Amino acid sequence: MIDMYKSMYKALLIGLALLMVASYVPQGEKGKAYANSATGSFNILSYNVGGLPWGLSSSDPASNTPLISPKLNAYDIVNVQEDFNYHAALYANANHAYKTATSGGAGIGSGLNTLSIFPMTNLKRITWNDRYGLIDNGSDQLTPKGFTATRHRLAEGVFIDVYNLHADAGTDSGSMAARASNIRQLYNYIVQHSEGNAVIVFGDTNTRYTREKPLLDEMLSATGLTDAWVELVRGGVAPQLGDALIDQNNLNSPNHEVVDKIFYRGSAFVDLQATQYRLEDTYFTDSNGAQLSDHYAISAVFSYTLSDQLSLSDPFGGSGGDAFNQLNHVLERKISSLTLQSGARVDGFSLGFADGSTLSVGGTANASVLQLDADEYIASVTLNRAVRNGDHRIFYMQVTTSKNKQISGGTATADTVTYTAPAGWYIAGFHGRAGAELDSLGVIYKRL
C-alpha cells in the first residue's frame, strides 16, 4: 500500500501549476516583530489542508494544494494538519525561511508541519499514547497522529513555544476517550516542557465546548492558556454543553464554533495578547469561491510587550536534554548559593535561595559551592561549549559575583560566551536545556 501511495504521489505532482496568490490580504499586520525592541506583533494561521491521498480526502488536494501554497505567505507562523501526500506542492510557493521537514505521507507521518519567518528550533514530534478507529470512527489508528513542539525566536532572548496538534476524530465513546487522553497528554507536556515560557497552541483539536467543555476547561486551567476565539469573539464566555454552534450566516459570529482552535499565554517576561481572530472563509478559496479544504483556516494577530524589569539572553549550547526555565521561580527570590556539579564537563548546578528553597538542573558530579552575602549578586557567567555525541554541551562554566567571588568547573574550550549583567541589573536565574549533563544555558537578568 505504501508503494502505491508513493507512485500515486509522484504521478499527481506532474503538471502541478503554481498560481498567483489572490489579491485579498487577511486582517492584521504581518511581520512586525522588531529585533531589540520592547514591542512587536505577528500573525498566525492554523489550517487542516486535507492532504490525504486521492480517494481518501474529502476535498481535492491535487488541485487545491498548489493554490494554498502561496496564500500561506500572508502569515508569519503557520501550523498545518493533514499535510500528507501533497507536501512538496504545499511548500513549493511558501517563502517562509524556516519549515519543518515532512514526517511522511499518510500511514507513515503525522501530517503536522510548521512554517515560520522566525528562527525555529527544538522540533519535537510526539505520537498520541491513545488512538481509536480504523476504517470507521476517524481512521485515527491508520497514521501516527499527535502533536509537535517548536520554539520560535522573535528577537534576542524572546521566544514563543508553538504547539501544533491533530487530535483523535469521531464522536463515538472510543474516539471521545482517546481524544480526552490526547488533550491531557498535550497539556501535561506543556506543563513539563514550557514552564515560564510564552506559549501558543493551534491546530485541529476535534473538540467543541458544546461537546467537551469540561475537558477544555481542564486543559486551560492546567496550562494557564486562553482561547482566542472565546476571548475576542465571545467576550470571554465559552459556550456551554449542548447542541453544536453552526451559524452559516456569519462564520465569525459567537454562534459558530469550529474544532480548529487557538490557545495562548504570555509569561512574566513576554506580555502576549491576541488582538484579532478570524475564520478565513473567503481567502482560501478557488476562482469559483469554493473552499480549498474540508476545514476552514483560522488566524489570529498577536502583539507582545517585554517586561522592563526582566530580560533574557539567548541560550548557548546544544539541543539535547529537556528544556527548563527558572523565570517563575526567581521573581521574588534572591540567590544565596550556587552549587556547581562538574567533571570533564558541566553536569549540572543548583541554586539555593534565602528562603531555604533550592532549584536543581542537570546531573551530579564533583560539587563545589559558592556562598553569596546578603548584598551580593551574580554579575557574570562565562560558558564554554564543545561537541559530545554529535551535539554541543556545556564543557565549562564560571560564575562571578558583584564582589568578584568566583566558582568554576569543567574543561575550558575555545568556543565561549560571557553574559554580563548591565549596570543596575543582576543575573537572577537561568534557562536552557539539561539531562544527565548541562546541554545549553542562558541567563535571566533582573533589575536591582
Q: Which of 11-15, 148-152, 240-244, 355-359 has the lowest mean pLDDT?
A: 11-15
Pick the residue with more confidence: 179 or 31?
Answer: 179
Residue 44 CA from chain centroid, whole number: 12
Distance in angstroms (rounded) separating the CA atoms of residues 166 and 287: 29
Q: State the pLDDT confidence band at 162, using cuts at 50, 70 and 90.
A: very high
Of 397, 399, 402, 398, nearest to 422 (Cα)? 402
Q: Report the alpha-carbon angle 114-120-126, nearest 5.
A: 55
The whole-chain average pLDDT of the chain stands at 91
SS3 281: coil
pLDDT tens sequence across 54-84:
656 667 899 999 999 999 999 999 999 999 9
pLDDT of residue 12: 37
Distance in angstroms (rounded) separating the CA atoms of residues 41 and 304: 6
Which residues, 6+ apart, have CB-to-CB distance to 305 below 8 Å?
38, 39, 270, 271
Phi and psi torsions of 322, nearest 5°: -110, 150
What CATH number labels 310-447?
2.100.10.30
Q: State the pLDDT confidence band at 33, using cuts at 50, 70 and 90.
A: very low
pTM: 0.90
Range(s) for CATH 2.100.10.30 in the chain?
310-447
pLDDT tens sequence across 202-227:
999 999 999 999 999 999 999 999 99
Q: Distances in Å between the alpha carbon of 299 and those of 225, 312, 317, 336?
A: 17, 28, 34, 46
Structural fold of domain 2-306: Deoxyribonuclease I; Chain A (3.60.10)
pLDDT of residue 403: 98
Q: Which of 34-38, 88-92, 145-149, 191-195 has the lowest mean pLDDT?
A: 34-38
Name the pairing type of β-strands 425-434 and 260-265: unpaired
Range(s) for CATH 3.60.10.10 in the chain?
2-306
pLDDT of residue 8: 41
pLDDT of residue 2: 38
pLDDT of residue 154: 96
pLDDT of residue 55: 59
DSSP secondary structure letters along 132-201 = --SSSTT-GGGTT-EEEEEEEEEETTEEEEEEEEBPPP-SSHHHHHHHHHHHHHHHHHHHHH-TTSEEEE
Give me 416's grid cell: 565561549
Phi and psi torsions of 92, nearest 5°: -60, -40
Q: State the pLDDT confidence band at 289, using cuts at 50, 70 and 90.
A: very high
Q: What percent of the chain has pLDDT over 70?
A: 90
Q: State the pLDDT confidence band at 52, using cuts at 50, 70 and 90.
A: confident
